[in-house]
Amino acid sequence: MKKILLSFVFALVSMFTFAQSTWVVDPMHSSVNFNIKHMGISFVQGRFDKIDGNVVTNKADLDRAEFNFTVIIESINTGVDMRDKHLKSADFFDAEKFQTMKFVGKSVKEKDNTYTLVGKLTIKDVTKDVSIPVTFGGIAKNQQGKEVLGFQAKFKINRLDYNIKYDPTGAGVAKDVEINTYFELVKQ
């Protein structure tokens, strides 16, 4: 009886192990972008050119998926070298001291084909809980025949909550930052 029970437990554990899939960021088809109001009248857009991460799924959707993403601060790109240098300084991201931003997703909630990703966002020395609406694009095969998974997320944060204290009044550089992410991940 013991052997049968152990065999059943082993089979069950194996089934769950093999059902799990890891998807890795395809940097050529993924981006982390931001948009922030400047002087109350216009917007500055930018992106981070170096991102890494993965999603671990148990099914063919995002239900119960685990997310782990890292953004390299030094890769910030607004198209203006002088502004990028300032954003990397201690006034903003302090890239010399804090080289990455991280997001670790703890749970995914699905309702009517709409997902909400709940996790922890770390910028500089601050980690905060965030809830992020996610649009799941689905799963397909790319030109090489590999399975790929796609999703996008759009959300806002208050930069002051993450110790990005330059212009704390928000008159020149707004407090709220809109973040738009687009991810395509390749199944490993």
| Count of other CB atoms within 10 angstroms of residue 161 | 13
Of the candidates 80, 75, 88, 97, the residue with the CA atom closest to the CA atom of residue 38: 80
For residues 40-59, give the mean pLDDT: 95
| Annotation: CATH topology of 21-187 | Lipocalin (2.40.128)
Q: Are 132 and 114 in contact (CB under 8 A)?
A: no
User: With pLDDT > 70 as the criterion, what percentage of the chain qualifies?
Assistant: 90
Q: Is pLDDT above 70 for 16? A: no
Helix, strand, or coil here: 40? Answer: coil
Distance between CA atoms of residues 117 and 108, nearest Å: 5
Q: How far is CA 15 from CA 20, 60, 146, in A?
A: 9, 15, 22
Identify the pLDDT of residue 3. Answer: 52
Q: What is the per-residue pLDDT across 119-162, written as a single tens digit (0 to 9) for each?
A: 999 999 999 999 999 999 999 999 999 999 999 999 999 999 99
Confidence band, pLDDT 50/70/90 cuts, at residue 68:
very high
Q: What is the pTM of this model?
A: 0.86
CA 172 from chain center: how many Å? 27
Query: Domain locations in the chain?
Result: 21-187
Q: Are 70 and 54 in contact (CB under 8 A)?
A: no
